[in-house]
Amino acid sequence: MDKKPRSLRTLITVVVTLVTLGVLIWGMFFTADYLVLNPKGPVGQSEKELIIITTLLCCVVIVPVLILTAVIVWRYRDKPNRKAAYSPNWHDSKVLETVWWGVPIIIIIALAVVTARYTYALEPSKPIDAEQKPVTVQVVSLDWKWLFLYPDENIATVNTLTIPEGVPVRFEITADAPMNSFWIPQLGGQIYAMSGMSMTLYLKADEVGTYFGTGANFSGEHFAQMRFDVNAVSQADYDSWVQKVKGNTGSTITEASYADLAKPGVMGETEYSSFPEGLYSKIAYKYVVDGENADSEDSTDGTKQEGMGSSLPGFSSGQVTSGLSASQPVQ
Amino acid sequence: MLDSIKDFASWFFVTGDPLIYGADVSIVLATIAIFAVLTYFKKWGWLWRNWLTTVDHKKIGIMYILAALLMLFRGGVDAIMMRTQIALPGIKFLEPEHYNQVFTTHGTIMILFMAMPLMFGLFNIIIPLQIGARDVAYPFLNSVSFWLFFVGAMLFNLSFVIGGSPDAGWTSYPPLSELMHNPGVGENFYIWGIQISGIGSLATGINFIVTLIKMRAPGMTLMKMPMFSWSVFATCIIIILAFPILTVTLALLFLDRFAGGHFFTLDMGGNPMMYINLFWMWGHPEVYIVVLPAFGIYSEVVATFSRKSIFGYKSMVFAMLVISIVSFFTWLHHFFTMGSGADINAFFAITTMIIAIPTGVKIFNWLFTMYRGRIRFELPMMWTIAFIPCFVVGGMTGVMLAVAPADFQFHNSYFLIAHFHQVLIGGVVFGYFAGLYYWWPKMFGFKLNHKLGVWAFWFWNIGFYVCFMPQYSLGLMGMTRRISEYTWDTGWAPLNFISTIGALMMGIGFLFQVAQILYSTFKHKKVGNDPWDGRTLEWTTASPAPEYNFAITPHVHAVDDWWATKERRAKGIADDPLPPIEPIHMPKNSIIPPIMGLAWFVAGFGFVFDWWWFYIPGMLGVAICMIARSFSYDTDYYIPVDEVKRTEEAIRGSV
C-alpha cells in the first residue's frame, strides 16, 4: 500500500532526521544557559572542575564498553554462513576476569581519591580564603518564600538577595517551614534549610550580575514559587543599596509582622529597613524545649540546639556542629 | 440531617476536579462491568476456587503480574499528566496541589505497587520451576503475601477518589508529612498502603529464601543454581534486612500522626532528620531489591539467546552478593546536602562508588557471554541488549552523583531525575519486560506476537531517550524536581516540551504491549515445553506447567542442567532411567488469605480515618484469621498416581 518512490522516502527520512537533530541541538544549546557549567564564583568553579574530572574518569570505562557492546552484538548475531567463531562452552577466563575486576577497581580508587580531596576542600561550612571579611546573610525558608536577614546592616529582604561582588558571603540557613534547600547554581552547590538547625554555607560571586536562585527541596503546595534573584553588585553599589533600604523606613519587620510573613502564602520581592534583633536565632531554635540539652557540650555558646546534635553525636560531626557551636554567636 | 450528610460526603469524597469525576465514573462502570460479566458467564465459582483462594505459586504469580500491569498503567498516566503540566510554562492543566499529589502517587506506585509485584510475580512463577520444586516453602503464606500486597495497593489507590491523595512526595519527608503541615488523610493512605503491602513483601522475602535453601531438587547444590535463582536469593537477603526498617519508620510516623508521638516532629524533641536516615536505610537497598532480579533475568536471557553458558558464573554470584551487602552502606548519598560534614560525606561517597565495581563486572560478563555466541534477536534478547548501554550510562551518572561535592550541584535537580529513571527504567523495567516475554510461554503456553512487540520495543526505547536525555540538561540548567510550573525566562521550555513527547512515546509503547497481549491471547500457536531452546529446569516441564510442576522430581548434575541433558542426548547418550511416579503431596487451597486481606483493608481504612469502629473489627478479623489458620489441620492432600499419569498423557497429547 505504501507506494511512494524510493527517492521521496529517502528525502522524507533525511528531512525528518535533520529537523529532529536541529530542534534537539537548538534546545540543548541555544535556549538556556547551563548554569552549573557556567559558574561565577570559586565554589561553583571548583565543583565544575570536579564534575568534568569525574566525567572523564568514568568515560575511560564507559566508552570502551559501549563500543565493545556494539561490536559484539553485531559480530556475533546469528545468521547463516557467519564467519565469527562459536564456542558454546567457553565460560571462564581468569585473565579476562582479572582485567575487568581490576580496571574498575583502579578507576574507582582514582575517583575516590579525587572525591575525598574535594569533599574536604568544598565542605560548605569552610570559609573561603579572601582578604575581605565575609558578609553574613541569614536565610530563612518559609512557606513559600525566602527571607534574607542582613544582621550587620539590620535590613531584610524577601525573595531577592543582594550581595557584594568579590566578597565571600557567609550564609546561615534555617527554616520556619518544612525542609527546603538553598541553591544558587552559578555560585555553588546547595545545602538544606531545616527547622531547628542552622547550616553554614560560604559562597562568593566573582562577577557583577544577576543569578538564578531557587529552593531545591519540595516543601509543599507552592514550592515552585520559591525562586529568587541574586544581584551581585559592586561594593559601592552594595553600600548605596543598603542605605536605600535603610532609608525606606515605611516597611519593617516586627515580631507581629514576622508572624504574618511566616504564614503559608506566596509573595513578590520586598525590602525591609529593619528587623528585631535575634530574630534568626529565635526562629532557628524555637522548638528547643527549655532545659533539655542544657549541659550538652554543643551549647557552649549559649544557644541551644535540638535533637540530633547532642542525642546522636555520630551524625553531627560536620555542618550541624560547626553551625551551632562555632565561636561566632548567631545574632 | 441532610446537610450534615452533604458535608460529610464533600469531605469524604474528593471533589472539584473533572479528572476525578471522570475517574469516579470509570471506576463505577468498570466494577459494574466486571460483576455483570462474571455473573452472566457464571464465573464466580471459577474465580473463587481457581484464583482467589489458590495457593498455587503459578497462579499467584499471574495475579501479581496482572495487578502490576494495572499499576503500571496508573503510574504511567500519572507520569503523562505531570509531563503535560510542565511541557510548557503557563499550562493550567493541574493545580499545584493536584500536581503534588500526582508526583507522590507516581513515585509510590511505580516503586512499591508496580516494580515490587511485577518482581514477586516473576519470583512466584519461575523460582519453584527453576529449582525443580513443587511449590514454594510456605504456599499459604505466599497467598497471604499476595493479598496483603493487593489490599495495600487498593487502599493506596482509593485515596484518589476518597479522602484525598498524599502529596508530600513518595519519600514523604517530615515535617511536611506530619500533622502540622499535612492534616489531611492522604498521608495516612500512604502509610497504611505501604505498611500492609510491606508485611506481605517481608513474608515473600522469607518465603523465597527458605524455598531456595530447602527445596532445591536433589543434586542442585548452591553453586549449580541458575543465575535468576541466585539473584532472587541475593534480593531476599536485602528484603529481609531492609523491609523491617521501613515498617518501623512508617509505624513511628503513624504514631506521630495518630497518637501524638514526637519521633519526627519539630517540637518536643522530635527529629525529622532521623526519618530521612531511616527511610533511605530501607530506600537505597530497595533499589537493589528491584534491580538484582532484573540482573538475574538478563543472565538467563543472555545465555539462552547466545546459546552459550553464562560467562564467569562464580564472579556473577560473588558480584551479586557483594552488591546485596554493600547496598546497606550507601544510604547517606541521598542527602549529602544535609550537612553531615566532610568525613561522613567522603565515606558514603566512596561506598557508593564501590557498588559500581561488581556492577561493572556483571556488564563485562554479559558481554563476554555474547562474545563467541550465536545471538538471536528475539524480544527478550532485544530488551536485554537495549538494557546494556542504557544502564551503563545511567550507572555513570550515578557515579557522578556519588561524588559528594558535585552532588551539591546535582541534588534534587532534573539531573537526578534523569539518572534514577535511567537506571530504574533501563535496568528494572527493561529487565522485567525481558522476563515477561521470556517466561510468557511458560505461563500461558504461547509466545507473544513478535511484530507488535517490536513496535512496542522501539517506541519504548526511542521514547525513553527523548524523554530523559533532555532532563540531564535541564538539571544542569538549574531546574529542580517537583516544581509544578516555571516561567518562560528560565529557558527550560523547549527541552521540557521534547521530554514530554518522549513520555508520550513510551505511553504509546505501553499501548502496543497491551495490544500485543490481547492480540496474542486470541491468536496464537501453542508452544511446547521448550520454545526458546532454554537451559534450565523450567523448560523441562509443560507450558503451562501442571499444578504439581514435575511429575517426577528431577535430578540435577550441572549448572544449566537441561542444556547439558540436551547435549548428552545429541551425542546419543540415553537419559538416566526415571523412577516410578509416586503420589504427589500438595497444599490445599484456603479461603483464609483473601478474608485476612479484606480484614486488613478494613483495619487500614479505619486507621486512615481514625474510625475505631472500623479498625477494631478489622484487627479482630485479622486475629480471627490467624487463630482459624492455626487450628486448621486439613491443609494438604495427595494427587494419586493415576491422576498424575492422566494429566501427563493429556499434556503430551495436546502438544
- Position B521 confidence tier, pLDDT thresholds 50, 70, 90: very high
Query: Per-residue b/e over B488-509, b at no fewer than 16 CB within 10 Å?
Result: eebbbbbbbbbbbebbbbbbeb
* B495 chain-A contacts, CB cut-off 8 A: 27-28, 31-32
DSSP string, A226-260: -EEEEEEE-HHHHHHHHHHHHH-TT----HHHHHH
Question: Nearest CB to B374: which of A76, A104, A214?
Answer: A76
Which has the closest alpha carbon to B216: B541, B535, B580, B537? B537
Q: Measure A266 CA to nearest chain B CA, in Å.
A: 13
**Which residues on A lie below 8 Å from B484 (Cβ)?**
223-224
A26 shares contact with chain B (CB less than 8 Å): yes
Angle at B424 between CA B317 and CA B331, to 5 degrees: 75
Q: Do B181 and A84 count as a contact with CB atoms less than 8 A apart?
A: no
Distance CA A279, CA A275 (A): 7
Residue range B10-36: average pLDDT?
A: 83
Distances (CA, A) of A4 to A10, A12, A18, B265, B455: 10, 11, 20, 68, 22
B253: exposed, middle or buried (Cβ count in 10 Å: 0-12, 13-18, 19+): buried
- Taking the C-alpha atoms of residue A320 and residue A244, their distance in angstroms, rounded to an integer, is 35
3-state secondary structure of B587: strand
Chain B residue with CA closest to A201: the answer is B339
Nearest Cα neighbor of B295 from B358, B389, B231 is: B231
Scanning every residue of chain A, which has its alpha carbon at the shortest distance from the alpha carbon of B489?
A: A32
Picking from B272, B274, B340, the nearest residue to A179 by CB comes out as B272
Distance CA A72, CA A76 (A): 6
pLDDT at position B100, please? 95
Cross-chain residue pair A105–B357, CB shorter than 8 Å: yes
Average pLDDT over residues B129-151: 96
In which residue ranges of chain A is pLDDT below 70? 1-5, 289-331
Instruction: Find the CB nearest B375 among A28, A76, A123.
Output: A76
In chain B, the percentage of residues whose pLDDT exceeds 90 is 88
Interface of A with B in 169-208 (CB under 8 A): 177-179, 181, 183, 185, 188-192, 194-197, 199
> Using 50, 70 and 90 to split pLDDT, how confident is the model at B654?
low
> Mean of the pLDDT values across residues B286-291?
96
Provide the 10 A C-beta neighbour count for residue B206: 18
Contact flag B480-A215 (C-beta cutoff 8 Å): yes
Contact criterion met (CB < 8 Å) for A323 and B339: yes
Q: Compute the distance between CA of residue B189 and CA of residue B193 in angstroms, rounded to an integer.
A: 6
Domain segments of chain A as ranges:
34-75+94-122, 135-288+301-323
Cell reading at B369: 557471554
Q: What is the 3-state secondary structure (H, E, C) of B184-253?
A: CCHHHHHHHHHHHHHHHHHHHHHHHHHHHHHCCCCCCCHHHCCHHHHHHHHHHHHHHHHHHHHHHHHHHH
Cell, residue B319: 558480584
Q: Alpha helices of B371-449 — where are they, by DSSP H?
A: 379-402, 404-410, 414-423, 430-444
Residue B100: its chain A contacts at CB < 8 A?
218, 220-221, 223
Per-residue model confidence as pLDDT tens digits over B72-87 = 999 999 999 999 999 9
> pLDDT category, B5, cuts 50, 70, 90?
confident
pLDDT of B352 higher than 90? yes
What end-to-end distance do the CA atoms of chain A give, in Å? 79
User: Which residues in chain A are contacts of B476 at CB distance < 8 A?
Assistant: 34-37
Do B225 and B233 touch, CB atoms closer than 8 A? yes
What is the three-class DSSP state of B368?
helix
Cβ of A86 and B372 within 8 Å?
yes
Residue pair A176/A140 in contact by the 8 Å Cβ criterion = yes
Per-window interface: B 485-524 vs A, CB < 8 A: 485-486, 490-495, 498
Given a contact cutoff of 8 angstroms between Cβ atoms, the answer to whether A49 and B511 are in contact is no
Nearest to B405 among A76, A100, A189 (CB): A189
Which residue on chain A is closest to B354 by alpha carbon?
A108
Cα gap A63→A107, rounded to integer Å? 14
* CA B305 centroid distance within chain: 25
Residues whose CB falls within 8 Å of the CB of residue B237, separated by 6 or more in sequence, listed in order:
B209, B321, B324
The answer to whether A160 and A231 are in contact (CB under 8 A) is: yes
Chain B, window 256-285: residues with a beta carbon less than 8 angstroms from a chain A beta carbon: 266-274, 277
The whole-chain average pLDDT of chain B stands at 94
Which pLDDT value is given to residue B351? 96
CB of A12 less than 8 A from some CB of B = no
Residue B67 — very low, low, confident or very high, per pLDDT cuts 50/70/90? very high
- The pLDDT score that the predictor gives to residue B418 is 97
CB of B466 closer than 8 Å to CB of B401: no
Cross-chain Cβ contact A216/B413 below 8 Å: yes
B373 touches chain A (CB under 8 A): yes
**How do residues B539-581 score in pLDDT, each as one tens digit?**
999 999 999 999 999 999 999 999 999 999 999 998 888 899 9
pLDDT tens digits, one per residue of B175-214? 999 998 999 999 999 999 999 999 999 999 999 999 999 9
pLDDT at position A23, please? 83
Tens-digit pLDDT profile for residues B464-503: 999 999 999 999 999 999 999 999 999 999 999 999 999 9
The CATH topology of domain A135-288+301-323 is: Immunoglobulin-like (2.60.40)
CA B350 to chain centre: 29
Question: For B270, which residue in chain A has the nearest alpha carbon?
Answer: A307
Res A41: pLDDT: 95
From B270, B310, B346, residue closest to A119, measured CB to CB: B346
| pLDDT at residue A173, rounded to an integer | 97
Nearest chain B CA: its distance from A221 CA (Å): 5
Grid cell locating A292 = 533539655
Grid cell listed for A239 = 553600600
Is A69 in the B-facing interface, judged by CB distances under 8 Å?
Answer: yes
Can you tell me the distance from the alpha carbon of B123 to that of B117, in angstroms, rounded to the nearest whole number? 9
Residue A153 DSSP one-character state: T
- Out of A46, A88, A315, name the one closest to residue B340 (CB): A315
Each residue's pLDDT tens digit, B294-348: 999 999 999 999 999 999 999 999 999 999 999 999 999 999 999 999 999 999 9
Say whether B315 sits in a helix, a strand or coil: helix
Which residues 433-492 of B are in CB contact (within 8 Å) with A?
470, 473, 475-478, 480-486, 490-492
The CATH number of B43-590+635-654 is which of 3.40.50.2000, 3.20.20.70, 2.170.190.11, 1.20.210.10? 1.20.210.10
d(CA B630, CA B628): 6
**CA atoms of A59 and A64, how far apart (whole Å):** 8
Alpha helices in B41-138, H assignment, sequence order:
44-46, 57-85, 96-108, 116-130
ipTM topping 0.90: yes
